[in-house]
Chains A and B, each alone.
Chain A
Amino acid sequence: MKASIFVFLLSMIFSTRGKAVEKIMESIPREISGWQADAADEVYDRETLYEYIDGGAELYLTYAFQNVFARRFVKQDAPEIVLEIYDMNSSQDAYGIFSSERQDEEVGIGQDSEYGGGLLRFWKDKYFVSVLAIGDEQTAKPVVFELGMKVAEAIPAVGERPDLLKYLPQENLLKNRIRFFHTHTILNRQYYLAGENILNLDRQTYCVFAPYQIDKNKSFLLIIHYENRSQAETSYLSFLANYLPEALGTGFAQLENGKWAMIKTSGKFLFIVFEAPSKEWASGLLSKVMRGMELE
């Protein structure tokens, strides 16, 4: 009996944590500046997302994606506008999917946003939102923004960014290029490391990948938070064995391209610097991170 009450209370907590995406869609007008919603909203979940996104569903499935509501707005002789609201189950993953291909300037909608080429992307609470105009971008742009702002207003709560972001040293950091993700396939999209999963990443690992601009070159910091210390240590050894055998005992090595790589582990965390201009730079960066996390 106690167990069933506990399960009930737990389900209540989770069901009220974020406003249901269908409620948000209901509060968005079906007519906006002459554009009319075309037919019923479409809904896709983890099983059916492939039917909706040709080739891109895998990205969402590496996060805790739950479902997406899509509504098409049409107007004669004007571009079609597609609104999509993705329930990512947590604010961290909403941020993660937003970060996965961020490249344009912030436009001030939701918690982080960008606009370019007719596409408005932003995240708020546990939701990732996309508003895409297909066709004449300039005609549709004011409506795309209006729609985006209405959705942002309809999401009352704000969410927490991933904790790992707090520990990134800010100097020379390319903030619009930070990525948050879980699996090695997404790491390889940012920085091809290996065909196989040599860092043992999965949906339970939390990863942040951050580029730093040093003169004309870029260096990269990868921080991984594993479920436990043992996984971090195993992955540390796997990385050394498969990628950086020269670094056994020191943690750093100069690679064939003249750049330096460095790895450290502490507790549940693994820290790797790629493409560093020198071992001193790599070491300095990792020291800043670990001091920030009070790990040294």
Chain B
Amino acid sequence: MKEKITRRDFMKGTAAAAMGMAIGLSPEEIQKTRVILIRHQDALDENSKHNADIIQQMLDEAVMKLLDQKDAVAAWKLLIKPEDIVGIKTNVWRYLPTPAELEGAIKKRLLDVGVKEENIGLNDRGVRNDPLFQKATALINTRPLRTHYWSGIGGCIKNLITFGERWPDYHPDSCADLGLLLKLPQVQGKIRLNILSVLNPQFHGRGAHHFDPRYVWNYKGLIVSTDTVAVDAVGLKIIQAKRLEHFGEEVELETTPKHVKVAGDRHKVGVSDWNRIELVKLGWQDGILI
């Protein structure tokens, strides 16, 4: 058995096999997982202000298509029951937080389903100690997509780190084991929907806080799925494609975002294999990149 995966394995195209051998994967089949990528030209205006009505419309269309329903509330009812206690896991990173318009669109549909307002919570860093999140029966996982200093990308998997007791425990090896967050008692089996905002994602970062407005662009999209890993796999493709377009050559991410693949292959908490993702592209197609 080959023990150490190196750059040469990637040159040879054997990294996946090497990783599989190293971790004892079985070749079991996983059904295709559906991911909706929806974009709208007017989701942000020329001043990058988010349009709440358009974002609501995009979210509705995405959820309907995801669940093959013709009515948005009917589709949401397949995800959430009126008696559910729902935590909206958002992201408050000061430079690029989850847009309030998106949080509002989610909350509106939860109320439409019949969830009581007092049973809907919104939190990021305080989820572990938030009484509502502690007794939540359902989670909606949402955040913006960006490159991330230590994990390569920050997506829906990384968004769950605030459920971890000690965040640095997830940092070794480029945060490879972030997928384990989906197995925490407060999370496992509770995520009903993942909404990765690619309304204005960041494809490259600089500085201590890894933020640089030169590398934020108005892609005007949402990636929606019940599969946390799959939305990140699609997000990663978009980031890589944008970097190729911008830099004119393949510039590797500063940190290899291996946690997406490891979450799918090793921890089996979702699908990271592009061949097992059914990507449905809706709306504005210009510059969609993938």
Q: How far is the CA of A103 from the CA of B149 in the complex (A)?
A: 16
In chain B, positions 56-78 with a C-beta closer than 8 Å to chain A are none
Query: How far is A101 from B206 in the complex, measured between Cα atoms in Å?
Result: 7
User: Which of B11, B174, B256 is A255 in contact with, Cβ under 8 Å?
Assistant: B11
Q: Is residue B6 contacting chain A, with contact meaning CB distance below 8 A?
A: yes
Task: Let me know if B255 is at the binding interface, CB within 8 A.
Answer: yes
With contacts A101-B254, A189-B254 known, is A56 near B209, CB below 8 A?
yes
| Contact between chains at B213 and A137 (CB < 8 Å) | yes
- The complex places the Cα of A189 from the Cα of B212 at a distance, in Å, of 18
Q: Which of A56, A137, A188 lies in contact with B256, CB distance below 8 A?
A: A188
Kindly list chain B residues whose C-beta atoms are within 8 Å of the C-beta of A101.
206-207, 254
Which residues from chain B contact A134 at a C-beta distance below 8 Å? Answer: 94-95, 211
Complexed CA–CA distance, A119 and B212 (Å):
8
Residues of A within 8 A of B149 (CB): 55-56, 58-59
CA distance A50 to B7 in the complex (A): 30
User: Which A-chain residue is minimally distant from B95 (CB atoms)?
Assistant: A134
Is B29 located at the chain interface by the 8 A CB criterion? no
A113 within 8 A of B: no
A132 near B174 with CB under 8 A, answer no
Residue of B nearest to A59 (CB): B149
Nearest Cβ distance between residue B215 and chain A, in whole angstroms?
8
Tell me how many residue pairs across A and B have CB atoms closer than 8 Å. Answer: 93
CB-defined contacts of A118 to chain B, threshold 8 Å? 212-213
Asked if A188 and B174 sit within 8 Å, CB to CB, the answer is yes
Q: How far is the CB of A97 from chain B (nearest CB, A)?
A: 9
B93 lies within 8 A of A121 (CB): no
Contact status of A84 and B151, CB under 8 A, knowing A188-B256, A189-B255, A193-B7: no
Are B255 and A53 in contact, CB atoms less than 8 angstroms apart?
Answer: no
- In whole angstroms, what is the CA distance A193 to B252 when docked? 13
Q: B residues 164-202 with Cβ under 8 Å of A? A: 167-168, 171, 173-174, 176
A64-106 interface (Cβ within 8 A of B): 84, 86, 101, 103
- A195 near B: Cβ within 8 Å? yes
**Inter-subunit contact A50/B207 (CB<8 Å):** no
Which listed residue (B3, B209, B212) contacts A54, Cβ 8 A?
Answer: B209
A130 → B minimal CB distance (Å): 6
B150 near A256: Cβ-Cβ < 8 Å:
no
Over the window 123-161 of chain A, the binary record of Cβ atoms lying under 8 Å from chain B Cβ atoms (1 yes, 0 no) is 000000010101001000000000000000000000000
B99 — which chain A residues lie within 8 A by C-beta?
none
B276 contacts the other chain (CB 8 A): no
- The answer for the CA separation of A194 and B4 in the assembled complex, in Å, is 7
Would A192 and B256 be within 8 Å (CB), given that A56-B210, A132-B209 are in contact? yes
Q: Mark A171-201, 1 if CB is under 8 A from B, else 0.
A: 0000000000000010011111111101000
Q: In the complex the two chains form, what is the Cα distance from A58 to B211 in whole Å?
A: 16
> B208 in the interface, Cβ–Cβ < 8 Å?
yes
Query: Is the pair A256, B11 in contact by a Cβ cutoff of 8 Å?
Result: yes
* Contact flag A56-B208 (CB < 8 Å), given A188-B256, A195-B173: yes
Q: Are A50 and B214 in contact (CB under 8 A)?
A: no
Q: Which residues of A lie under 8 Å from residue B215 when comparing CB positions?
A: 117
Pairwise interchain contact A256-B12, C-beta atoms closer than 8 A: yes
User: For residue B3, which residues in chain A have a CB less than 8 angstroms away from its CB?
Assistant: 196
Q: In the complex, which residues of chain B have a beta carbon less than 8 angstroms from the beta carbon of A188?
A: 174, 255-256
For residue B290, CB closer than 8 A to chain A, the reply is no
Task: Tell whether B148 is near chain A: CB-to-CB under 8 Å.
Answer: yes
Task: Return B131 CB to nearest CB of chain A, in Å.
Answer: 23
In addition to A192-B252, A243-B8, 5 A-B residue pairs with Cβ atoms within 8 Å of each other are A58-B150, A58-B171, A59-B149, A117-B212, A118-B213
Interface pairs (24), CB distance under 8 Å: A55-B150, A55-B210, A56-B208, A56-B209, A58-B149, A59-B149, A59-B150, A86-B208, A116-B214, A117-B206, A117-B212, A117-B213, A117-B214, A130-B207, A134-B94, A190-B254, A191-B7, A195-B176, A195-B258, A196-B3, A196-B4, A198-B6, A242-B4, A255-B8
Residues of B whose CB lies within 8 Å of any CB of A are 3-8, 10-12, 93-95, 148-151, 154, 167-168, 171, 173-174, 176, 206-215, 252, 254-256, 258
**3 nearest A-B pairs in the assembled complex, by CB-CB distance:** A194-B6, A256-B11, A117-B214
